[in-house]
Amino acid sequence: MLETIWFALWGILWAVYFMLDGFDLGIGTLTPFLAKSEGDKRAIYNSMAPYWDGNQVWLITAGGVTFAAFPKTYAVMFSSLYSALLLILFCLIVRGVAMEYRFKFISAKWKKFWDTMLWVGTFGPALLFGVAFANLFRGIAIDKAGVSHGTLLSLLNPYGLMGGVLFTLLFTVHGALWIAVKSGEDLGRRAGKLAQSLWYGLAAAAVVFLAATYVSTHLYDNYLKYPALFVIPLAAVGALVGIIIFARQGKWLTAWYSSAVFIVTVTLFGVTGMYPNLLLSSLDPAASLSAFNSSSSTLTLEIMLGVALVFVPIVIAYQIWAYRFFGTSAGVRTPGTEGKM
């Protein structure tokens, strides 16, 4: 029972991270295509500035849960996906530095360099997270000893790349809607229009990925065994349709909420299909690591559950306060500057 609870928490934490940091990754990826002036760039940076570092708490939490609740899975996963995860880490570091350093000097070349680094630091994780999770759904080439027989190039298989494209489109639509909510009339209008255009690519990518998932993975096995679980993909379809309906009505915040639900349900669709496996072996199903054969001791899981029940609500309360406070503030300080823009 405890193993199942922690498996569910593991999936939920990843879903929350993608929902929150996803719009930051999407905004950074879209910046070169949306920003037509220095004012646009300041508005875009300001739309991320109060939130991006707090959103990464959920990434740390998801990684921490993997380490503490499923230590064997953590060890094998981080060795099997080492190159991809290291690239993601470097990109996230670059993004943070770009956010803080971009406004330190007024030089146009300086700003252009950090704008480029912001794009690298956001597009890279958006693509690689999709590649990594698609490979988790498909299976990693690991043996019974937990030794990986794959490389970074083997992760860039057609199904993995489809996952990368899907996640990138997920985040860019999410980010464009956030800009439409937070920015002025001209930039917000262009961002909303771009979100609607990208939606068609997202819908097509989702259909292709679902079809490829049926062929390349065993994710549907749990759904066919327990048909009630189909409420998850059905909710995802409803949220996807809701995005375009609300966007066409100019209800940008509601469209963003629909996008958030879509990201969460898409993530939970994959995680639910994996259960009880955390790390599938493409070489030998018996070598797969599950919530039961890779978990910590019962005592550890019990203690951690008590800690989680105390501190996770505190983190949630803080983030709700932060979003409410900065959502109603008259201005937001651009990173690296002293005044408000």
**Distance from C-alpha of 191 to C-alpha of 179, rounded to nearest angstrom:** 6
Mean pLDDT over 121-132 rounds to 95
- Break the chain into its structural domains and give their ranges: 2-328
Mean pLDDT over 169-187 rounds to 92
Mean pLDDT over 26-52 rounds to 91
For position 69, what pLDDT does the model report?
93
Token digits for 269?
Answer: 């669709």
Q: Does pLDDT of 335 surpass 80? A: no
**Distance from C-alpha of 188 to C-alpha of 273, rounded to nearest angstrom:** 37
Longest Cα pair distance anywhere in the chain, in angstroms? 61
Cβ neighbours, 10 Å, residue 185: 7
Q: Torsion-angle region of residue 148: left (phi > 0), alpha (psi -120 to 50) or beta?
A: beta
In sequence order, which residues have a C-beta less than 8 Å from that of residue 124 and are 6 or more positions away? 87, 88, 90, 91
Looking at the DSSP bridge assignments, the partners of residue 148 are 142
Token digits for 61?
Answer: 């939490």
Mean pLDDT over 196-215 rounds to 96
Mean pLDDT over 249-256 rounds to 95
**Distance from C-alpha of 295 to C-alpha of 300, rounded to nearest angstrom:** 9
Q: How far is CA 68 from CA 41, 49, 103, 137, 316, in A?
A: 40, 31, 39, 22, 20
Element (H, E) at 289: strand 289-290
Q: Does pLDDT of 50 surpass 60? A: yes
For position 328, what pLDDT does the model report?
52
For the whole model, what pTM was predicted?
0.91
Chain-wide mean pLDDT for the chain? Answer: 90
Cβ neighbours, 10 Å, residue 29: 26
Label residue 124 by pLDDT band (50, 70, 90).
very high
Label residue 153 by pLDDT band (50, 70, 90).
confident
For position 190, what pLDDT does the model report?
94
Q: How far is CA 169 from CA 46, 50, 108, 127, 205, in A?
A: 22, 23, 30, 9, 8
User: Are 289 and 279 within 8 A, CB to CB?
Assistant: yes
**Distance from C-alpha of 75 to C-alpha of 40, rounded to nearest angstrom:** 43
Mean pLDDT over 2-8 rounds to 94
Q: Does pLDDT of 239 surpass 90? A: yes
